[in-house]
Structure 1
């Protein structure tokens, strides 16, 4: 299925948000995810199913001051 992750197109086999993160080797524990501009909490990623054309945004916290 074709999806977009952080404005980059991917062809993936996975059908849930959690599985796509693993498939794309995104393993950082401290990330935020959004599906089609809607925040998805970490505990809901396994139950969040994806559809063709979905847009996923992944954000990681930045250090600084």
Structure 2
């Protein structure tokens, strides 16, 4: 990752530059308060990346 960019920006740029036909991301459990305070990187990726995304839940 580059300094000054967040993970979502990096992933979005990489997916566009490849171009990716599918992006696979892992999900982890978080409390509702944790989601509110920290946000959800996975949710932001799902909303911003143009290619299909497969989100895999943690066990």
TM-score by length of 1: 0.26
- Identify, as 1 or 2, the structure richer in strand: 1
Q: Which has the larger radius of gyration?
A: 2
